[in-house]
Structure 1
Amino acid sequence: METLGVWLRQTREAQERTLEEVEEAIRIRPRFLAALEAGNFASLPGGEVQARGFLRLYARHLGLSPDQVLARYDVEIRGALSSPPTETAPSSPARSTTTPPPVSSPRSPSPFPPQPPPRRITLTTVVLSSFAVLVLAAAIVAAIYFIRNGNGGETTVATSAPAAVGVAPTTLGVTAPLTAEADLPPVAPTFPVNPQGGVTLALESTEHVWVRVTTDGVKAFEGMLAPWQAASWSGQEAVVVETGNGAGVLVAVNNQPQGTMCGRAEVCTRAWGPNGEIIIQ
């Protein structure tokens, strides 16, 4: 069976495409494409994360299955790392030292399954979320109102009670609600709301990293970001971001920094809407 690099090169040559034409389509430099076709994955500056991202883009461009290409990559990498150096016995055939380890079928599942497509956030969901926030705010205002009314009644009883009752004024605890009311912080929004409505999300990469951005259920971008490359997208309902290396992407929503997407070499998906971050099940 030919190696992964030979498979990619033969497929490209069968389609009569040059490395420069492929670069124009998927924005990967010819020297990186040549490294993929030569099986020289260690020469890529981004390591395994970048190699997997480049292979996924290259496979889709050539019409190959990204899962099969990544499965072949995992087999070749595991074989290169697990096979220890051995000395060839004099009586052994010369070709025994070059026999590759057993290669599983290209259809074997990848240890990193592709992320499921992001769940479309409908306008109904956004409206229900906004209604829930309004109900919660109304409940807080009602609670403060009842606390104030309760304080007035308790204070009147304490001042009119005769001394014969034998209850010290300090035991009534009438000052506790007043202190709680005085210390109650004002309700402030925890998410910057865009005055024009919707949500604006900006990404800045600190290294080579693959990302996919979906706005209002429509794919807006998919590809590699170079180190310190910045881009932004806007949506009315939600902006969803997927990446294969969360530590290499800085996020800002409505000009408010949110930090990195997730951990290093960690595949993750996050989404933001007009009212803040949306939890994706």
Structure 2
Amino acid sequence: MSIGNSPQEDRPSIGRVIQQARIAAGLTVDEVSTATRVRIPIVQAIEQDDFSRCGGDVYARGHLRTLARAVGLDPEPLIERFDAERGGRPAPTAAAPLFEAERIRPERRRPNWTAAMVAAIVAIVGFVGFTLFHDGGKRDDAARAGETAGAEPAPTTSAPARTADPKPEPSDSAIAALPKDKVTIKITARDGQSWISAKDANGRLLEDGLLRQGQSRTFTDEKRIDLVLGNAGAVQLYVNGKEIKQVGDKGAVERLSYTPGDPQAG
């Protein structure tokens, strides 16, 4: 009499789930390592369900959460399954009351007598200077009044009011402000995060990493910009001020190239 495998035994392991999602997204281990800053040996070990290289369960949870997001998975079910297979996550310990009291107790400051003395000296010098200046000003006014007594006041002419310079009118379109002899690309992670790589015409790396939802990057070059988008359906792409309506599908990897001319996929 034979016993078949249970549904739990047929379910793929945590590492296998991440590996399958990475392959489905069209990403290599090197690309995932570059996007997440998790070293290649650790990525390979996690895909083989070997968490000994992570340095502990706390770091293993962090690596699982980062890798899952990079390949388009929800990390929470994987974290719950990881904790369940290891007997559950330990409960956090509360901080000692004495430590909290010491931490929030304000520090008593000593009076700064040096600053007080300096302020007093400055006030005295200022008062003496003001008194001398005020008395001297009265004597000068009296002398000028005696010299000019009986003189007819000179006619005064009012200068014409100066007209304020008109402000420049704003441009009707943001596209008109873009340089015509360069290619300008703006990428926004609108519907989710995406791994992106951007290079200029000389092959110099401009960006290589994970663009989280809501973040944007702008690149400019005189000849060409080459792009690799790890989750093309999640990004909004503008080339030379014009929106590219259909960049790619969700989870798909797209390799694109653009020049200063009209937007065209490379």
TM-score clears 0.5: no
TM bucket, shorter chain: 0.3 to 0.5
Q: Which of structures 1 and 2 has the larger relative contact order (alpha carbons within 8 angstroms, sep 6+)?
A: 2
TM-score by length of 2: 0.37
Bigger Rg, which one: 2
